[in-house]
A and B are shown apart, each in its own frame.
Chain A
Amino acid sequence: MAINWFKYSAPTAFYGLAGKLVPWFAWSSAILFAIGLYISFFVAPTDATQSEAYRIMFIHVPTSILSMFIYLVMAFYAAVGLVFNTRLSSMMATALAPTGALFAFISLWTGAMWGKPMWGAWWVWDARLTSELILLFLYFGFIALHASIDDPRRADRAAALLAIVGSVNVPIIYFSVKWWNTLHQGSTIKFSGTSMHIAMQQALFTMLLACWTYSVAISLLRVRSIVLERERNTQWVAELEEVRS
């Protein structure tokens, strides 16, 4: 039996599906955060060079990775919305933007807090730091552009274009430490393996999963609100239990 994927590309069907998925992702996220934070603080050993200060990476690295990943997912949804003229994909892009912006902000913020004690500076105009800051501004630009156009379909198309153009920045962030001399160190997690202790890896990957499930839960929750808002004049929304009561 083939699953009819297109069924869920309609906001009507997806609204219900998203509602069912949210608690699963929310609970997984809560549990993973508990485990991840426990390993981060109590199991992972002290680092030889940076002693305890390195532990900030357990929040810094996952949020940085996800800020880039969410941008790519957002740009993908925006592009699908542009090509196939599907309402739901554009709504997903809109729903992802605030979470991506939050992660980009946390990444920069924790990076500053890590940079001051280790490097000796809160901020340096380094290629990695600057391109991540541009990513945050791209998120802000996407949100602001979308909000500034009254007609939601026109807003979707304009913002989609910005999201697609901005995706050029993501590989720049990733490869910046390789292409140029930067103060920021190279990647610890490479496709060829990692250069860290096994317990540190476990903490990092658990925190990454926790942040990912959080972002899925919160964007599904947000997309449900967007669906309700945009379809507020339709029959099916009027017939929803939570709307009627």
Chain B
Amino acid sequence: MTPRRKKTTYMIIGGLAGLGLAVGLVLYALKNNVSLYFTPTQVFNKEAPQGRSFRIGGLVETGSVKREGDGLTVHFNVSDTVKIMPVIYKGILPDLFKEGKGVVAQGKLEADNVFHAEEVLAKHDENYMPPEAKDALDKAAKAKAGAVSPVVPAPTSTGY
């Protein structure tokens, strides 16, 4: 390569490395602002904004969903397996809203220590499988949790 080409190459590589570092540091510093939601643990540690609307995310705790008489108001707990946050929401829930599944709710933490949600979004995972495979997996998980020696062998990850 001619000296001029070499110089341009180094300038591009150096420029990109510098820019990448700068962007990386900025994004690292703004970590909390870039993230869409706070986990219940972060809320517990007072990392979430106080007296202002924010989003909370985690799993809907199994057995925690309770509907009020009007059929619209619903209570549930959002858990990150360490801390739980009680949530109250009045409105229509998305189809994928289920116990044990991911959820992101926007709202405010009120003085009663209950998160008053204005919007609830369902978060699904990156695993796709036919219903039969899901049943097999669920059965296997149940067997593993219940019996000492599982009746159904744990499925391997290949193919799914």
Interface on A for B, CB 8 Å cutoff?
Answer: 45-50, 54, 57, 79, 82-84, 117-121, 124-127, 164-165, 167-168, 172, 179-183, 185-188, 193, 195-198, 200
Contacts and interface: CB of A to CB of B under 8 A. Distances in A.
Contacts of B127: 188, 195-196
Interface stretch (B60-68, B70-78, B116-124): B116-124
A164 B121 CA distance: 36
B122 to A, nearest CB: 6
Interface residues of B, number: 42
A47 B130 contact: yes
Contacts of A119: 94, 96, 121-124
B128 A196 contact: yes
A167 B16 contact: yes
Nearest to A126: B36
Interface string B22-35: 01000100010011
Interface of B: 5, 8-9, 12, 15-16, 19-20, 23, 27, 31, 34-39, 57, 93-96, 101, 104, 119-131, 133-134, 157, 159-160
Nearest to A117: B95
B125 A185 contact: yes
A168 B122 CA distance: 30
Contacts of B120: 120
- Interface residue SS majority, chain A: loop
Given A49-B96, A120-B94, A200-B128, 13 more contacts: A46-B130, A47-B128, A48-B134, A50-B96, A119-B121, A119-B122, A121-B121, A164-B15, A168-B23, A179-B27, A183-B57, A183-B104, A197-B128
Given A50-B96, A118-B122, A183-B104, A195 B128 contact: yes
Contacts of B95: 117-118
Contacts of B159: 197-198
B122 A45 contact: no
29 contacts: A45-B130, A47-B130, A49-B134, A50-B124, A54-B128, A79-B12, A82-B12, A83-B12, A84-B5, A118-B96, A125-B36, A168-B19, A179-B27, A179-B34, A180-B35, A183-B57, A183-B104, A183-B121, A185-B125, A186-B125, A186-B126, A187-B126, A188-B128, A195-B127, A195-B157, A197-B130, A197-B133, A197-B159, A198-B159
